[in-house]
Structure 1
């Protein structure tokens, strides 16, 4: 059952799990540690997590799990060979101890929004536990699994990756029963080695589910997904055209997305036609798990996006589309397309650099620069080292090497509609302070 997670402490994982059950939560950060936590001393490239064990216990942690004998303190300290691998093994053991149904999802764009929508829909009928924020890596996935309890009926686990074999590894930890891939786009090109590498890496979720005869949810209008799963039987999905799948009709996105499913019209609080498939996935998965149509409608219409994702914010006379949580060439392009469909006048796009593009960075930033210039947008501000290097002869476009330079040249904006989008490291939500 534990597969590669038998690791070194196979005989002790069950014992460690019993200790975990007597604690109220896992903590890996002494700034957030609380009374009765189990603290895992995880080390990074530039720090030794074991040095924080004493502080964690002082702040109320019940147990500190360490992997360096020099920091052993008392019977409240558990020494293991590797704290991270022990955390992953414990999560895998706990997942099977609970016997909970696990839905895993990955993709280039829309993972977190889709995860939140699925959780909102399924929680209408089930006790659910979902990934908090975007804790979707080799640490976040174990923490998500370990946050589940005996009351959890369905777990929704977001999986992120920027290299080959990462999704495969996360699947070995979570061992999902169901899976969904939002899309394949130009994200993390540097790590994946191009778009084909992205498709191969994200498809590791398909590979796991197919090899273990599990269920797959599919966007049947995505030709890549459809072709890959053409001969696989255990799939359930949605389509605007294919009658073999749940029929969903796109209605409008001006600015909020509305759609029809099973003769029911649902109007969301999400902007952008690109959110249509995210809404389709949540609705379809809800139907698969026998959530009533009215409950699905209620859930989706009550969902309000947060965390800088497709938020509409009013600031004085300005309307802001804040989509500054992250960006890659695929999501940037669809965001700009959607922006041009807005009916408001005086459209202003404030765009920040897209990260992790490797050797494709120059080409991709030039493409977005040219694409933005070709659209019906009144003013364009490009911020960051890569956008600054792109060539533009358009008088409506201004380029800044840094946010500080943009800030120094910023002039008041009134009665406008603004799109703010860039990679997380650009932190373009700072623009709100200038408005």
Structure 2
């Protein structure tokens, strides 16, 4: 969408000091398209107001600020709080959109599920969706303000690290279809406990309005126990007979590194083959099928759409490096996603290596969670190698687990140990930067 100064001021209740032409909204002073409106966000370590000179030189149409700059000659809207202004502009954009809006959250699998949902809903027209990790209090508003005029469907991820954040994001985006993938030990530090994580995720269901659809994962006891508001349509999915959309068969082909899936709906059977291995991906496919079924997507289009699924970024991506099958799952990690990745590794053929980094933001669950993951890893892999203070501390109780001072040292040892036909899983939280292992392997194989 594009916004002129008058519209921006009306949307966020700001003072229109100087009118400006219509343009897109941005918060990145390094990449201001000519004719855009720059929202000068502030934080503990940054202040967008310091870059207004750069913004003007980029040809911006105007700026949304909390402090009026001297000598500014472009459009200007002054507000008390620029973050709140950005979110209010996003709410305005959402109000202008009248198609279905799908909101997805969960402790693990929300990005893969979002990618699948986008694919199955392409049958309804043009789908605008979250890009990358733009799923927080800044990223979600930017997704909404970027809505193109020809969008028919909107799919957004809602991330969080504390109570109340999902509530704010769902209030801005007002999803008409709401989905929680699962609840597990992720962001425990910010939510206080696993029960706190569950309450934080439940905020997505709590905000549902009459007529909205809530997709409930019956395989997750915390989600199946969540209350939903009156007047909401409930679509259940899972692997049990009581699920309306039921996952009835899943298998991993260890040679082709594919996942075969069969899902039963009230209207018939969906079959798909994913070009990546992962038993856990099947429940994500069932979730996407539940969304598609709720929105009356033609049944015959769902299977082919799921089969087009490709992982986004460093999430369960398969890469062959010098004859080694690398499962690059380095983007992030928590206990749920670790166990899922290790289950996938165990299902494959060849000598198996697990290169694992720390899991972060687990609060009081930290020691127990790392120990549990390593116990599972030594059953799934022939060799378990770890780095990071948390993994290394847990490894002290597992004599067969090798610990390394950093990811580079771990990678150097892998270069010497790996051979054609081996399988390597690389996984850790974002802060562990386990992608350095994969980068080092690539460089070594090229040299």
TM-score (norm 2): 0.88
SS of structure 1 residue aligned to 2:223: helix
Q: In structure 1, how many angstroms separate the alpha carbons of the residues matched to 2:198 and 2:330?
A: 25
> For residues 402 and 29 of structure 1, do their structure 2 counterparts lie closer, same or farther at Cα, with a shift above 3 Å needed?
same
Q: In structure 1, how many angstroms separate the alpha carbons of the residues matched to 2:14 and 2:251?
A: 53
Give the equivalent residue in structure 1 for 2:166: 167
Q: In structure 1, how many angstroms separate the alpha carbons of the residues matched to 2:158 and 2:240?
A: 29
Q: In structure 2, how many angstroms separate the alpha carbons of the residues matched to 1:407 and 1:180?
A: 38
Give the equivalent residue in structure 2 for 1:201: 200
Give the equivalent residue in structure 1 for 2:218: 220
SS of structure 2 residue aligned to 1:326: coil
Moved more, 241-250 or 424-433: 241-250
Moved more, 406-415 or 234-243: 406-415
SS of structure 2 residue aligned to 1:272: coil
Q: In structure 2, how many angstroms separate the alpha carbons of the residues matched to 1:269 and 1:83?
A: 43
Among 284, 291, 295, the alignment partner of 2:297 is: 291
In the alignment, does 2:381 pair up with 1:383? no
Q: In structure 1, how many angstroms separate the alpha carbons of the residues matched to 2:21 and 2:110?
A: 30
Give the equivalent residue in structure 2 for 1:365: 370
Instruction: Give the superposition deviation at 1:259.
Output: 1.5
In the alignment, does 2:271 pair up with 1:265? yes
Q: In structure 2, how many angstroms separate the alpha carbons of the residues matched to 1:283 and 1:136?
A: 22
> For residues 21 and 62 of structure 1, do their structure 2 counterparts lie closer, same or farther at Cα, with a shift above 3 Å needed?
closer
In the alignment, does 2:438 pair up with 1:432? yes
**C-alpha contact (below 8 Å) 1:215/1:234 kept by paired residues:** yes
Instruction: Give the superposition deviation at 1:245.
Output: 0.8
> For residues 284 and 352 of structure 1, do their structure 2 counterparts lie closer, same or farther at Cα, with a shift above 3 Å needed?
same
Q: In structure 2, how many angstroms separate the alpha carbons of the residues matched to 1:237 and 1:256?
A: 26
Give the equivalent residue in structure 1 for 2:5: none
Q: In angstroms, what is the RMSD of aligned CA positions?
A: 2.4
Q: In structure 2, how many angstroms separate the alpha carbons of the residues matched to 1:101 and 1:14?
A: 29
Give the equivalent residue in structure 2 for 1:256: 258
Residues 372-392 of structure 1 deviation map (CA, whole Å, 9 limit, x = unaligned): 22x042111111111111244
Give the equivalent residue in structure 2 for 1:345: 350
> For residues 284 and 270 of structure 1, do their structure 2 counterparts lie closer, same or farther at Cα, with a shift above 3 Å needed?
farther
Residues 394-434 of structure 1 deviation map (CA, whole Å, 9 limit, x = unaligned): 55421123224434555422121001111112221222233
Q: In structure 2, how many angstroms separate the alpha carbons of the residues matched to 1:42 and 1:116?
A: 29
SS of structure 2 residue aligned to 1:348: strand
Give the equivalent residue in structure 2 for 1:6: none
Q: In structure 1, how many angstroms separate the alpha carbons of the residues matched to 2:116 and 2:221?
A: 23
Q: In structure 2, how many angstroms separate the alpha carbons of the residues matched to 1:294 and 1:145?
A: 30
In the alignment, does 2:4 pair up with 1:30? no
Q: In structure 1, how many angstroms separate the alpha carbons of the residues matched to 2:229 and 2:64?
A: 46
TM-score (norm 1): 0.90
Residues 5-33 of structure 1 deviation map (CA, whole Å, 9 limit, x = unaligned): xxxx76864997xx79821x221112221
Structure 1 unaligned blocks of 5 or more? 1-8
Q: In structure 1, how many angstroms separate the alpha carbons of the residues matched to 2:30 and 2:410?
A: 34
> For residues 408 and 333 of structure 1, do their structure 2 counterparts lie closer, same or farther at Cα, with a shift above 3 Å needed?
same
SS of structure 1 residue aligned to 2:137: coil
Give the equivalent residue in structure 2 for 1:238: 237
**C-alpha contact (below 8 Å) 1:50/1:71 kept by paired residues:** no
Give the equivalent residue in structure 1 for 2:140: 141
> For residues 404 and 429 of structure 1, do their structure 2 counterparts lie closer, same or farther at Cα, with a shift above 3 Å needed?
closer
Give the equivalent residue in structure 2 for 1:60: 59
Alignment of 1:258-337 (within 5 A): 258-261=260-263, 262-337=268-343
> For residues 237 and 269 of structure 1, do their structure 2 counterparts lie closer, same or farther at Cα, with a shift above 3 Å needed?
farther
SS of structure 2 residue aligned to 1:432: helix
> For residues 21 and 104 of structure 1, do their structure 2 counterparts lie closer, same or farther at Cα, with a shift above 3 Å needed?
farther
Residues 154-212 of structure 1 deviation map (CA, whole Å, 9 limit, x = unaligned): 21111001111111111121122220000001101100111111111100111111x65
Give the equivalent residue in structure 1 for 2:361: 356
Q: In structure 2, how many angstroms separate the alpha carbons of the residues matched to 1:20 and 1:119?
A: 35
Aligned length: 422
Alignment of 1:87-126 (within 5 A): 87-126=86-125
> For residues 54 and 121 of structure 1, do their structure 2 counterparts lie closer, same or farther at Cα, with a shift above 3 Å needed?
same
**C-alpha contact (below 8 Å) 1:378/1:396 kept by paired residues:** no
Alignment of 1:173-188 (within 5 A): 173-188=172-187
